[in-house]
Structures are given as structure tokens and as C-alpha cells.
Amino acid sequence: MKQLISTFLVFNFLVVAWSQTPEYSIQQLDEIVLKTDRYLETFSDTQLTSVLTDSVLLRSASSLTQLLNNNASIYFKENGLGMVSSPSFRGTTAQQTAVIWNGININSQFNGQTDFNTINIRSFDNVTVRSGGGSVLYGSGAIGGTVHLNNDLKFNSGFENNLYASYGSFNTWDVGYNGSVSSEKFSVDVGLSRTSSSNDYKYVDSDKTNLNGQFYNSTLSANFGYKINKKNVIKFHGYLFDSERHFSLLSPSETPTKYQDLNTRNLLEWQGFYGKFISTLRLAHISENYKYFHNSEKSTFSFGEAKSYIGKYQLDYQVFKKANLQSVVDVTYTSGESSNIEENNRTISGFSLLFKQTFKKLLYEASLRKEITNNYESPLLYSLGVQYHVTSNYAINLNGSKNFRIPTYNDLYWFGSGNLELNPETSNQIELGNEFTFNKTSFSVVGFYNDIKNMIRWLPSGSIWKPVNTDHVLSYGLEAKLHIEQQIQSHKIALGGTYAYTVSKNKDTEKQLIYVPNHKATAMLNYQYKRMSAYYETVYVGEVFTLSDNNPNYILDAYLLSNAGAEYAFGKSRNYTVGLQFKNIFNINYQAVLSRYMPGINYNFYINLNF
């Protein structure tokens, strides 16, 4: 009852919801862009999505952490620049944010999360942030929200090249090449990128230096599309990521360690359009490998290795003119082992039904998913969303869903500790939002309420630690987003911002979860005059508790970071850009994790050539 009342209260106090249709970068009328993760368009209308493309990606450092820290309301717990980075999305844990590569969930089989510093954004056409539950569409971990890494396939766009290079403080190199060639029938796109850094920054207000923080990562991506005939298309996406990071030291006398990642992802899709039916068959193989060197000068390491094979068949049927029914059958087979886990296999089969109908002012979408595995009891997942356009400028969204996070390999199989009795964490959530769109202005605000049960936590049990389903967490708050553009003659001004208010409490202790700020805001102001542009961006992160008893003596202070930059575009069609960036211009001394100091003011210079 109490819960009902609080739900009701939250509802009253919520003002909004939202969804934004991605803006595609179609330059030529006859160019056709095919998206592989179609759910982002077809089943995300009643939730907030935010698409980060070209200029935003160009101005960001190559790590997914930095891109999203500056442009989204997700909070990052980053263990020093470039080190292990875990997200908290809408106050949830790192395992409750799913990262989706071209429609496939790539969170680690071992720990259930993605380290956002092991994703290099240069290989993707866009990065989309989708707030709120998405387990029916994207599986485990889609509780706080999902982050999508997308490669598009362009047809009819000829031969295009893009070269990007950046050099900056701490000997940081970030270079990338992307080449694509396409005709009416085929499309080929290959990308290469590499980021490396000595990462030996001085701590602000201290004579200490970030030691043993050097890293590199390289990415190779390849995307092919072939239209066999008018009714059949074949697509392939391939991806390889290789990185080595030394983990920075808290004290110079520590033993230096390092960590290597090698991840591969391959996806083959065959899509057929037959009258009222669309048939899609997907086969995918993804692998993750890590090696942890507990002494970077030695050759001994601990490791983890997991491979998944995914088969998925989807049939879309157009029931009425504006009503669509999809049925999906999928199977995922995973095999993994690590230094602490003997080889284990698991198979998860899933069945989904999705329905969407659009009327003049109203649309609704409903979906169901049930997974079957002998690992654990899987709940029935569902999602229901309604969107109503009150006026042409104002829409209301309502969405409710049940989502989950399944036990990981570590949770289930860790030698001596693994608990085969674990059940998935489950989340019941509801969100309500308003979205306002005017000519050059959009504003949205969404209120959410998320009740997460059976949270898996490792607790002492005799002489060891064992994972158990225990915690019950309530997360609620609001997310707001604003975008304004104005143009007066040759002067263009764009202003954008996000704000999130988040409460995330352990229901038993009534304490805020550690490393979840109540407030986070981002803002960006861009001014362009002809070929020149200058911008200023800022991020505010509120204070966070570092101890679970919310002891006020152990908090990390709030910080306000500011970056500024300028760009000049040259070439006949402004297809060459040079830019200069200043980060942390006020030389703020801040930490995202206790004792992990971040860099002060730093610089970089970049060029971006399209030819």
C-alpha cells in the first residue's frame, strides 16, 4: 500500500516523458541508410532516446566514458582517466546498464557489465542512449537503460573517406580512418582506429603524478551489405577490439599491474521482404578475452575467456495498415572459463511477441518475452508503452516494463563461491514524460520509478564470499533534456543540456547507494559563424557517498568541469576541419572514485578530413 502511495506521489510529481526521433544524416536524396538495430526506431517511441552523432563524436575523446559523461545523464565511476569505468544509469548498478552493439547485448559474461573505457567510439556511426527498461528487446541488464553502438550501411553514396587524428596532453594519440564504398546493390565500410596515451598527468594541487596509467587500444571494424534482389538483403558487421591498460597506482611503491582485453564481434543478417511479411535471420558470434597481469613485469596472468553463439529469427507481420506484429525466437549458447571458473556452458532460449499500433494522435506498443534456461528461473518480461500527441508540439508518454539482470558466470560458477541457486535481479518500472518540440527547440522531462528486487550481492558466508539475492532498491527521479538552435544571418547558436535527479535507496537501510549522485547535469553551448565555431561544455556531478552508511566524512565532493574548444572548417564544402580543445579549463581537482585523481587542465589538437 505504501508502495502504491509512493508510486502515485511520484506520478503526480512527474512532468514528462519523451522520445526523440533520430535525425539521420542523409545528404543525398538517393542515399539509403540501413540500420541494423531497428528496435531503436520501431519499439522506442515511448521512451527517451538520445542519438549522438558526427560533431558530438568528433569533439569527444575516443572513450565511451568521456562521450557519455559529457553528453548524457549517466554517472561514471572511473578509476582514474582511462582506467576501469562503470556506469550508473538512473541510479542503478553497473550490471544494470546494457551495452548493445548493432542490436546485440555485449555485457561481459563474467561480471555482467561493460567497462566503458573498453569501447572506442570512433568505429561507430552513432551512439544512442536509451533510458529505462529494455529487457524484452535487449535482454539482461537493460534496467537503468541501454547504450547502443551502431554501424549503418549506406547505399548509393559512392566512395567516401574519413581521416581523423588528434594529439594532446599526456602524449595522447587518437587516430582513425574510415572508408566506405557503395553502389545501389552493395555497401562496404571499413574502419580502423587507435588511441594511445602515456596518461602520466600531474595531479592538481599536488606534486604527485599518475603512475603506470599508460594504455592503448585498437579497433578494426568492417561492415558489408548486399542487396541480392529487391526482396533480400544480406548484412555483415565485424568488430575487433584489442587493448592493454596499465592500471594506475595509488602509491608509487605498489606493484604495477596491467590488463589486456581482446574482444571480437561478428554478426550476419539475412533480411527478406515478402508482402506483408519481413523475415530476419541473424547469426552472431561474440567473444571476450581478458588477461590480468598482477605484476606487469612478469608474464604470469589470470584470464577469462567466453564465447557466445547467437541465432535469432524474427518475423514481422503487418496486421493492419498501421499495426505490426513481430514474433521472435532466439537461442544463445555461451561457453566460458577463467582462472576462477571451470569451463561452463549455458544455453538460453527466448521467445518474444511484440505489437505496435499507430493512430493519428496515439500509438501504443506492447511486448512480451520469456526466456528458458536450466540455469535459473526466468521471469516473464514485458513492456507496455503509450504515446499521445496532445498537440503537434506536445506529446505525453507512458511506459511500464519488467526487466531483469541474469546471474553472471562469476555469480554462478566462481570456484568455491558460485551459487547455482541464484535468480535474476528483477525490476518493475514505470515512467511518465512530456515532450515539447517547437521549430528549433525541444524540451523533455521524464519521471521514473524503478523497483529492483533480488539484487545479487556477494556476502561473507563462513570463510568465503557467496553471491545471494538480497537487496531491494528503489530508484526514482527525473531526467530532463533541452536543445535550442537559433540562426541569425551567418550566426548559429546551439544550446543543449541534460539534467538528472536521482534517488537510489536500499530499501532496508534507507541509505543512498554509494557512488550515485543525486544530481548530474551537462550543458553545451555552440556558436558558429561561417567556417568558425567555438564551443563550451560543462558537466556537473553532485557529491557521492563512498560508504554504504552514507558517512558524511567519506564523500566525494561535487565538481563542475568545463571544456572549451574552437574549430575551423575549410575546403570547398567545409569537409576539412581543424580543432583545438581545452579540457578542465579551470584546473579543477576532482575524483570520480576515492583517491583516484583526475587530470587538471589539458589540451588537444585535431584534424578531421572527409574526402
Partner 1 sequence: MKNVFKLLTLIAVFGFLTTSCSNDNDDGTTPPVVSLGDYANGILVTAEGGPASVSYISNDYSTSENNIYFNVNNEELGVYLQSMGFNDNKGYIVSDNVNTVVVVDRYSFIKEGSISDGLNRPRYIAFSNGIGYVTNWGDPYDSSDDFVAVVDLSTNMVINTIPVGEGPEQIIAVGNKLYVSHKGGYSVNNIISVIDVTNSTVNTIVVNDMPDEMIINNSGQLVVLCEGKPAWTGDETLASISKIDLSSNTVIETLSFADGVHPSAMGYTNGKVYYQSNNEVFELSDSASTVPSSAILTLDATTPYGMAVKNDKLYVTDAKDYASLSDLIIYDLNTKSIVNTFEVGLNASKIYFN
C-alpha of 331 from chain center: 24
Q: Which is nearer to partner 1, 50 or 214 (CB)?
A: 214
Q: Is 548 left (phi over 0), alpha (psi -120 to 50) or beta?
A: alpha
Question: How far apart are alpha carbons 159 and 188 in whole angstroms?
Answer: 10
- Residue 432 carries which side chain, given as an amino acid letter? L
**From the CB of 23, what's the least distance to partner 1, in Å?**
34
Question: How far apart are alpha carbons 11 and 173 in whole angstroms?
Answer: 48
**From the CB of 436, what's the least distance to partner 1, in Å?**
39
Residue 105 is a binding residue for partner 1 (CB under 8 A)? no
- Of 478, 550, 556, the C-alpha closest to 519 is 478
Residues whose CB is less than 8 angstroms from the CB of residue 4 and which lie 6 or more positions away in sequence, other chains included: none
Could you tell me how many residues make up the chain? 611
Residue 331: all three cell numbers together? 537461442
- Is there a contact between 133 and 142 (Cβ–Cβ < 8 Å)? yes
- Of 558, 595, 502, the C-alpha closest to 87 is 502
Q: What residues form DSSP beta bridges with 488?
A: 491
Three-class DSSP category at 528: strand
C-alpha of 481 from chain center: 17
Distances from the Cα of 47 to the Cαs of 18, 294, 386, 464, in angstroms?
A: 6, 43, 10, 42
Q: Which is nearer to partner 1, 10 or 121 (CB)?
A: 121
Of residues 495-524, which lie at the interface with partner 1 (CB under 8 A)?
A: 514
Of residues 414-433, which lie at the interface with partner 1 (CB under 8 A)?
A: 415-417
Identify the residue among 25, 171, 393, 595 touching partner 1 (CB under 8 A). 595
Residues whose CB is less than 8 angstroms from the CB of residue 504 and which lie 6 or more positions away in sequence, other chains included: 88, 90, 91, 92, 473, 474, 475, 512, 513, 516
**Interaction mask 325-344, partner 1, x per CB under 8 A:** -------------xxx----
Residue 408: all three cell numbers together? 553472471
Quick one: which H or E segment has residue 2?
helix 2-13
Q: Which is nearer to partner 1, 229 or 299 (CB)?
A: 299
Identify the residue among 167, 270, 465, 582 touching partner 1 (CB under 8 A). 465
Of 34-42, 245-253, 274-282, 521-529: span binding partner 1 (CB under 8 A): 245-253
Question: How far apart are alpha carbons 478 and 447 in whole angstroms?
Answer: 4
**Interaction mask 525-554, partner 1, x per CB under 8 A:** ----------------------xxx-x--x
Of residues 371-410, which lie at the interface with partner 1 (CB under 8 A)?
A: 410
Three-class DSSP category at 70: helix
Q: Which is nearer to partner 1, 107 or 401 (CB)?
A: 107
Of 59-67, 141-149, 252-260, 572-580: span binding partner 1 (CB under 8 A): 252-260
- Is there a contact between 269 and 280 (Cβ–Cβ < 8 Å)? yes
Total site size for partner 1, rule CB under 8 A: 45
**Interaction mask 280-319, partner 1, x per CB under 8 A:** ----------x-x-xx--x-x-x-x---------------
**Interaction mask 191-230, partner 1, x per CB under 8 A:** ----------------------------------------
Identify the residue among 309, 436, 458, 559 touching partner 1 (CB under 8 A). 458
Q: Which is nearer to partner 1, 108 or 150 (CB)?
A: 108
Of residues 106-145, which lie at the interface with partner 1 (CB under 8 A)?
A: 108, 110-111, 113, 115, 118
Q: Which residues bind partner 1 (CB under 8 A)?
A: 84, 86, 94, 108, 110-111, 113, 115, 118, 250-251, 253-255, 259, 261, 290, 292, 294-295, 298, 300, 302, 304, 338-340, 410, 415-417, 458, 460, 462-465, 514, 547-549, 551, 554, 594-595
